[in-house]
Structure 1
């Protein structure tokens, strides 16, 4: 971490400034300190399609450096802001080595997710690079029933307790999950709030997949599931319990 901090430099940006242009060679990786940054792609007809935006947090530009590919999207500053940048050479020397080690572990976790089984190998690797490690102590609330669903979790180490509120307003345990399991996956395909709460049992280490990062890399999860059209409805029934529960999907 100290090496990374020493290698980065600040870049001030103005409102409307194009930080990254689609199709250009990747030269820098950026971490947002302040400001709002919009991600978009430009089609052959010249029209812009907005993919999302980050405000006062987040990072971008890593994929072009990792895979020696042109920039896949453009990034525009929607306000004055401040970025911290790292050059391609430094990024590959310090960050890439550790990223490949992390990828080997995370790829095994992603392969277990039924709704993502139609991903191509390179798409799965991209998602591995987007996963964020998180740690929780005994009793910590990881997700809360009723809260906004912002992503899904993969358990690397430890056990979690899943609870749901009954008709009397009491929290009842409905399951326990451990190494290799995942939860919160509905965040990838529906806007509905969290259906249950999840607590850490002892020390827990998870990998978090942000839904905004997922869609920035691969688009809507439903489109990925539809690739295997014959299995599409069967997957939805497994996820939601019955056809009657399949609603409000993206």
Structure 2
């Protein structure tokens, strides 16, 4: 078991370079969508670049519109958004809601899908057909790029209200998938709010963090970083010096300890809501066990340096509660 954790939310990879015209062309959406794609009319339209304030749902789980798709269609949509900067940070649940919410739009050849200068609310993925992109300067329109199956455009419309920078014309009959800004942002806001409440509940169960004040727990919940492991991946290894602690969001982890003869035996299993490695926030001692993912394991993690940067040394926080402080020290001494 030598594989290492793979962080799914790394957004440091460079975005494919585009010319100035092509960069403009990616942010283009129409103003004349059919009723099936209409957004709430209570939202006023604005010409300046701006983003609506969307309140997360207070219920445990919000229901979203689902437009049926075949598995092949879902895979093609997923492939189209996989390397897009706006979608890279989505977890599986969020990505599933986004794909569900995309509605089919059929267009005929020569249809002006998007007009330069119009406001728009939609992002598009091309399922079939071809589309040319034109940018008008003075009285001249110049073709700057074309889109075919798998191509997409207008992603910034999911974040902002702004006049579009180009015109898109269908050069054949085609089919697109369209996603509106309100639905997209609602999915992100609702999911983020629910996860924050869940993380705060998890954190309240960790003895080392029991002395945190409410606002401090908010800070830590917002700073937790998602990370996932495949089946049999090693999360941490006995004897290694650790810097992070983990909360399990989904899946199961198995704990192994090594006997004097070198054999490993299972000593514990943890699942959703459980935590491990928390003593790394206190000291730099070697890990007391090897932890391995059993099936797919989704966690959130925070390192000692990040914790200290946010709230100061953990030891100082522990001292707020004398009884808990001494209990933690006794637990830590058992693992030395």
Q: Under TM normalisation by the shorter chain, which class is it?
A: 0.5 to 0.7
**How does the TM-score come out when normalised to structure 2?**
0.43
Q: Distance in 2 between matches of 1:198 and 1:144?
A: 6
Q: Residue 221 of structure 2 aligns with which residue?
A: 128
Which of these residues, 311, 315, 331, is aligned with residue 222 of structure 1?
A: 315
Q: Distance in 2 between matches of 1:193 and 1:183?
A: 14
**Considering only CA atoms, is the larger Rg found in Structure 1 or Structure 2?**
2
Which structure 2 residues correspond to residues 96-111 of structure 1 after superposition, within 5 A? 97=189, 99-111=192-204
Q: Distance in 2 between matches of 1:164 and 1:143?
A: 12
CA-atom RMSD in angstroms: 2.7
8 Å Cα contact 1:126-1:217 kept in structure 2:
yes
Q: Distance in 2 between matches of 1:239 and 1:113?
A: 14
Q: Report the Cα offset of residue 164 of structure 1.
A: 1.2
Q: Report the Cα offset of residue 225 of structure 1.
A: 0.6
Q: Distance in 2 between matches of 1:169 and 1:112?
A: 34
8 Å Cα contact 2:241-2:285 kept in structure 1:
yes
8 Å Cα contact 2:244-2:277 kept in structure 1:
yes
Which of these residues, 223, 232, 255, is aligned with residue 139 of structure 1?
A: 232
Which of these residues, 212, 215, 230, is aligned with residue 119 of structure 1?
A: 212
More strand as a share of residues: 1
Which structure 2 residues correspond to residues 27-176 of structure 1 after superposition, within 5 A? 97=189, 99-176=192-269
SS in 2 for 1:147: coil
Q: Report the Cα offset of residue 101 of structure 1.
A: 3.7
SS in 1 for 2:305: helix
SS in 2 for 1:198: strand
**How does the TM-score come out when normalised to structure 1?**
0.57
SS in 1 for 2:280: helix
Q: Report the Cα offset of residue 212 of structure 1.
A: 1.1
Q: Distance in 2 between matches of 1:202 and 1:109?
A: 21
Q: Residue 40 of structure 1 aligns with which residue?
A: none
Show structure 1 runs of 4+ deviating over 6 A.
none
Q: Report the Cα offset of residue 99 of structure 1.
A: 4.3
Q: Distance in 1 between matches of 2:315 and 2:251?
A: 30
Q: Distance in 2 between matches of 1:178 and 1:124?
A: 21
